[in-house]
Structure formats: structure tokens, C-alpha cells
Amino acid sequence: MKKKGFSAAFLSAAILISSAQADDQSVTVNVDNFVRAESDLQFQRYVKSYDSFGKFHHNREMYDVNNQITIRANMDTIYSFAIFDLNSPLEIIMPDTHGKYQSLMTVSQDHSITSHYQGKHLFTKESVGTRYVFLVMRTFVDPSDKASLAIAHKLQDAVIVKQAEKGKFSVPSYDEKSLAKVRASINAEANKLPTTRGFFGHIDDLTPQNHLYGAAYGWAGLPEKDAIYEGVTVEKNDGKTPYSVTAKDVPVKAFWSISVYNKDGFYEVNDTGVYVLNNKTAKRNPDGSITINFGNKGAINNIQITDGSFTYTPGGSIQSRAIASGR
């Protein structure tokens, strides 16, 4: 049955990729079950990689580019991850950060997303909508400032978790080849759009097609009221032509940043270790503006670009509807 709002490309993917189960009894993924499959697989990987079921795993350093699980992650914050079984209600108490940025995001198995800040928060299966919930905590840090890192660690450790029963984690096994094909098909459509606005948030606030785009293009992205992500693909995208973008007086409440990804939406490991620059870490021009360079070796604020193609995401304007855009 045709779903309202889905493009022909998605319907073709659904036809080409059978919904029958694979030979190894893993569930074959199509456009209809993609969101749940992508979310369950993400949950499973975080449980396995970080031992984060029923408790938080706190990253103490910046995002590890050699262990990338989620597409288009950011490196302006240090992450904390946890997956909980909501058969038992969950209470999270966030500390008073005294102006430092720290957010808590909930992601359901249906990729319904909400955001929370300091204070007490109660989560149940009924309020979240699914049995399992993925919690992502982002705490801002300047990687060049050891004092900033120490403060971030204290804020991570100050979070309180209360749950009577841990429960257990069990999700279906999905065929990752068919999942990857569906994801690529959706992203081919999403990449044509000028913005990701409307991709992330509570499922009731999203159109079916934007909900699908969000799960594929930037799984676990913050809702628009908290962050705006604007993906940009340059005109001559050969991985050799240098580009630059300049921004000044961007009206954000916390910070803005620019990240560079390869054509698949992941960081391409390089020998400089620079993948992201923001208004806290980049060097300013004499007039106070900031110029970010791409593939311009020797220039200030330079981020390497990849052979073949790259995309950059300006903004991620946390706690503001304004977006950082250079012209």
C-alpha cells in the first residue's frame, strides 16, 4: 500500500528489496521498516561497543573517528550514551551547569526525539512510545583547554540515574546489506534538499517523509528548537578544489560549528586530526569574523577534504533557531 508523502525512489527501493527474511533469519529491511531497523541496530551497536545498557558510558575525550557508529556525529561536545529498558520507569536528574552547555536527548526505537536540560526528568514506555530508549548527553568542551575538559567531566559525573529494575536488551537481527541499500536510497533524495529543518523531533511533529529522511541522513539529530544542521555540497566537489566560508556575528545562544564529512556522512580520518571548527576554537580575523578553509593547506582554520567528494555542515546552532551560514 502506498504511503502518503513517500517519493517514487523510496517505493522503488521497497519493491527491489524484498520484505521477506534473509536466509540467515535476519530481517530484510525495506522502506517500511527502515526507521525501526536503523534505530534497533544503532541501539545494539552502542550496547556492544560501550557496555551502555542500563547505565551511562561517558566519553572522556572527543569523538573517536576510528570508532564511528552514527552518521554525521559532532565533535564539539563529549558524548555520554545509555540504553534503558522502560519496562521499569526511568528518572534522570541533570545538574545545574551554571551556563555551560549540556543537553540530554531521548531517541525512541521509532526515532521520535525529545530534548531536555537541567532538572528532573521521568521517562516511561508510555511517554517515550517504545520499550527501549537511547539517551545521548552532549557536554560542550574546548579540546585545547584542559580546564574545560575537567569541568565537562564533573558535569557528566553529576548526572543521577534512578531505575528500580534494569531489565534486559533484546532486538531482532536485521540484514545489514539491505539496510545499507535503503539508507543510501533515502540519502540520495535527502542530499538534494537545501535544509534538514523538519527532519528531527517528536514523531507527531514530523511529516512521514521528513521522519524517514532524518533517520537515514542524521540519525539521532537534535530537534530544530535545539539545533539546526545545514548540509552543503560544494559545486566543484572533486576533493582537490579549495573552498572557504566566512561567518560573523552569528546569533546563537551557545555555539556554532562547521564539520566536514565524506560522501557517506562520516569523518574521513586524516593526519591533522582536525574535522570540526567552531566559534570557540577557530582563530578570528582582525574584524572579528571567522574564515573556515577547506582543502587549503597552510591556511588558518583549515579542514582537509576527501578525495572524490565532501560535504560540510555549517551551524548546528545549539539552543537557537538561527543558523551559522557563510557566503
What is the C-alpha separation between 307 and 263, in angstroms, rounded? 10
Say if residue 234 is in the same domain as residue 187. Answer: no
Domain containing 320: what range? 227-327
174, 27 Cβ separation under 8 angstroms: yes
Say if residue 213 is in the same domain as residue 322. Answer: no
Say if residue 168 is in the same domain as residue 292. Answer: no
Say if residue 46 is in the same domain as residue 22. Answer: yes
231, 278 Cβ separation under 8 angstroms: no
Q: Domain count for the chain, please give it.
A: 2
pLDDT at 101 over 50: yes
Say if residue 82 is in the same domain as residue 215. Answer: yes
Say if residue 112 is in the same domain as residue 258. Answer: no
pLDDT at 70 over 70: yes
Predicted confidence (pLDDT) per residue in 227-262, tens digit: 877 778 888 888 889 999 999 988 887 788 898 999
CATH number of the domain encompassing residue 297: 2.60.120.600
Categorize the per-residue pLDDT at 308 as very low, low, confident or very high, splitting at 50, 70 and 90: low
pTM of the full structure: 0.77
CB atoms within 10 A of CB 290: 23
Cell of 54: 542500563
Say if residue 177 is in the same domain as residue 195. Answer: yes
pLDDT at 311 over 80: no
- Average pLDDT of the segment spanning 275-299: 94
Say if residue 272 is in the same domain as residue 322. Answer: yes
115, 94 Cβ separation under 8 angstroms: no
Say if residue 254 is in the same domain as residue 108. Answer: no
Domain boundary among 164, 186, 220: 220
What's at 117, amino acid-wise? Answer: Y
Say if residue 38 is in the same domain as residue 175. Answer: yes
Predicted confidence (pLDDT) per residue in 139-160, tens digit: 998 876 788 899 999 999 999 9
Categorize the per-residue pLDDT at 19 as very low, low, confident or very high, splitting at 50, 70 and 90: very low
